[in-house]
Structure 1
């Protein structure tokens, strides 16, 4: 929930909370609350770096095909943008929706199938059209992700109160508990450059392919969430993300 803010701001989460409290929102797991000030954080990043854009900054977020088509029109109408930041949420939405959809689970029952589905989507997507339009305008694109995901098959018990975040791979709250060999417990989050407004705030991050389930109705929720793609824990697939700089072929 912190990764895109860190990406756009160029700061660790604790630094964002300290320097820009007006832009730091942490009410829930929802994307709307935690990532609502990405444009402002990017603008502050440019200011600190001494970068002045002659033709301004453009920020846009694509949730669906309609949003993608709207952005395509912007690219066609205004090719002289100094910097354009584009967030595409499709793959993230796909990983979340898969656990709730029998059809998606049949289409992507395992990791190779999920990758094939994502590849098929991209080859016919609005995003691919946008990248080709940008290439035709002789612009450079830096393409990356804020996190990866992992196929979760093993449940592990977690303890927390009602204010604890609901994510399956990480928990943020107060006086949390976990099984030590299956998760990392950050008792002093400040040492990891994570916000620690109170002394009792802590974090737990699931290891390997584990996902958190509360002790109440453990086996019910174990079955419900097993075999889902999740993110926010500690695995190579989540923490090591690709980045590529794309330049047009002249």
Structure 2
């Protein structure tokens, strides 16, 4: 810290001693006084980098003191601190060019954030946004201590994403550290919540969120009709924040009728979650009812080859065979362009389903391709890359054509993905599955604290490969690593995007219904 000098003006300054000690420990120099008159005298004698000013003081009020300060030192940032939320006081203060506005009681981190915002030289996109976050993050911390339902978790996660996107252009890393720590803490608590509640969601007459296998029946089928064609786009591996990144582009062509979140089943992996969406069944039931279509982790061959067949069976089961439907899976640029070029031919369908694999290819490519690893080094970069791709993709061309043809548009995904940062050692036999975020097999050895365990997979409707097979799911931002060749393995996979485990990013995912503008 380069000798930052703070003047703090408050008629109850003695009550702020803990805040002042906190700032002094961070190497800020704090001068205090009890009145506006005293503050003006000090400011005439000494230079300060910033002033914290109480609004409600006897004698010269905070607003009157602010006016005087601006007359003698126009460029000094002044942070107004008040107990009042009355609009006229805010308008007065903002009209007088305050640097920030904090509502009492303030905590030390709010003060620190305000200092970072106003004194570091990085230009922030929006001072108002930063000020608002200062007031909001304490509420998020309180919510985090009390959250206890799947609806609460959706709300909290959406709030964290909102602030992450609002603050993403702030160059000062310390601003982001507080949000990052909140996200990490949220994922730890979310892991405990899922551990306790997930198995109960499959019991009869239990309050449960919409899950992968109930999504089509509960949310998609009611939207379908002969009156208006529907384009259902399932963008594989799409995180909620990535949807938010390209939502403004979609909004040029479509207006949002409904947006909500649903929960991916475990494992949050394509062969489980996406097959569950199209079949309307949990994996154990897919294996039982469609043994010719379902493949377990250890089976040879592709695991996602029969989604169209699963969908056909579900449509019959739901009595929707009167609706004309077609299914397309886009796995490369060529097939995407081809479908966009021929899109007009789909106008007579009641339902057109397009599975778009780009985000999945990108996240897997990031593991192996150094160029992509550079381009998507963190969540902000990953969002930016997704947005850039979308704006130049055949998928956007399809959406534009769908709008012109009057299609209803539904955008969703099968699961999200998380940037993995910390290894967790696991040992299994040669038949153990290969995924970095979940494992299934016999005789698994693992760190208990790092995983959610399903010793009997049937309790969460997963197939058992053998009588003694279990599943483990990595929590937070952990990834599984074998002790053999451990260092090479860890350096190769650390800071890559993976899925299959338990995190807000993987499990809470968007479902959006839109109508053409």
TM-score range, shorter chain: over 0.9
Q: For 2:364 and 2:467, how far apart are their aligned partners in 1?
A: 32
Aligned residue among 282, 306, 313 for 1:44: 313
Describe the superposition over 1:173-201 as per-residue Cα deviations: whole angstroms up to 9, x where unpaired.
22222111011121111000111253211
CA RMSD after TM alignment = 1.5
Counterpart in the other structure of 1:163: 431
1:27 offset after TM fit, Å? 5.0
Aligned residue among 389, 394, 408 for 1:126: 394
Counterpart in the other structure of 1:9: 279
RCO greater where, 1 or 2, for CA within 8 Å and sep 6 or more? 1
Q: From the CA coordinates, give the structure whose radius of gyration is larger.
A: 2
C-alpha contact 2:296 2:465 (8 A) present in aligned 1: no
Unaligned runs of 5+ in 2: 1-270
1:65 offset after TM fit, Å? 1.2
Cα gap change, 1:28/1:135 in structure 2, threshold over 3 Å: closer, same or farther?
Answer: farther
Q: For 2:441 and 2:288, how far apart are their aligned partners in 1?
A: 19
Other structure's SS at 1:21 match: coil
Q: Do structure 1's residue 53 and structure 2's residue 332 form an aligned pair?
A: no
Q: Do structure 1's residue 97 and structure 2's residue 386 form an aligned pair?
A: no
Q: For 1:16 and 1:65, how far apart are their aligned partners in 2?
A: 31
Q: For 1:232 and 1:219, how far apart are their aligned partners in 2?
A: 22
C-alpha contact 2:411 2:513 (8 A) present in aligned 1: yes
Counterpart in the other structure of 2:495: 227
* Superposed counterparts of 1:99-248, under 5 Å: 99-248=367-516
C-alpha contact 2:481 2:489 (8 A) present in aligned 1: yes
Describe the superposition over 1:127-164 as per-residue Cα deviations: whole angstroms up to 9, x where unpaired.
01111111111111211110100010000011111111
Q: For 1:246 and 1:38, how far apart are their aligned partners in 2?
A: 24
C-alpha contact 2:425 2:480 (8 A) present in aligned 1: yes
Q: For 2:287 and 2:451, how far apart are their aligned partners in 1?
A: 25
Other structure's SS at 2:348 match: coil
Q: For 2:436 and 2:284, how far apart are their aligned partners in 1?
A: 22
C-alpha contact 1:53 1:83 (8 A) present in aligned 2: no
C-alpha contact 1:29 1:167 (8 A) present in aligned 2: no
Q: For 1:78 and 1:14, how far apart are their aligned partners in 2?
A: 34
Cα gap change, 1:7/1:210 in structure 2, threshold over 3 Å: closer, same or farther?
Answer: same
Describe the superposition over 1:16-42 as per-residue Cα deviations: whole angstroms up to 9, x where unpaired.
111111111125599x62111111110
Other structure's SS at 1:2 match: helix
Provide TM-score, normalisation by structure 1. 0.94
1:83 offset after TM fit, Å? 1.4
Q: For 2:363 and 2:387, how far apart are their aligned partners in 1?
A: 14
Counterpart in the other structure of 1:72: 340
The list of structure 1 runs, each at least 4 consecutive aligned residues, that deviate by more than 6 angstroms after superposition, is none
Cα gap change, 1:196/1:186 in structure 2, threshold over 3 Å: closer, same or farther?
Answer: same
Paired residue total:
247
Q: For 2:299 and 2:426, how far apart are their aligned partners in 1?
A: 17
1:172 offset after TM fit, Å? 1.7
Describe the superposition over 1:188-233 as per-residue Cα deviations: whole angstroms up to 9, x where unpaired.
1100011125321111110000000011121221111111110000
Provide TM-score, normalisation by structure 2. 0.46
Other structure's SS at 2:342 match: helix
Comparing both structures, which one devotes a greater share of its residues to helix? 2
Unaligned runs of 5+ in 1: none
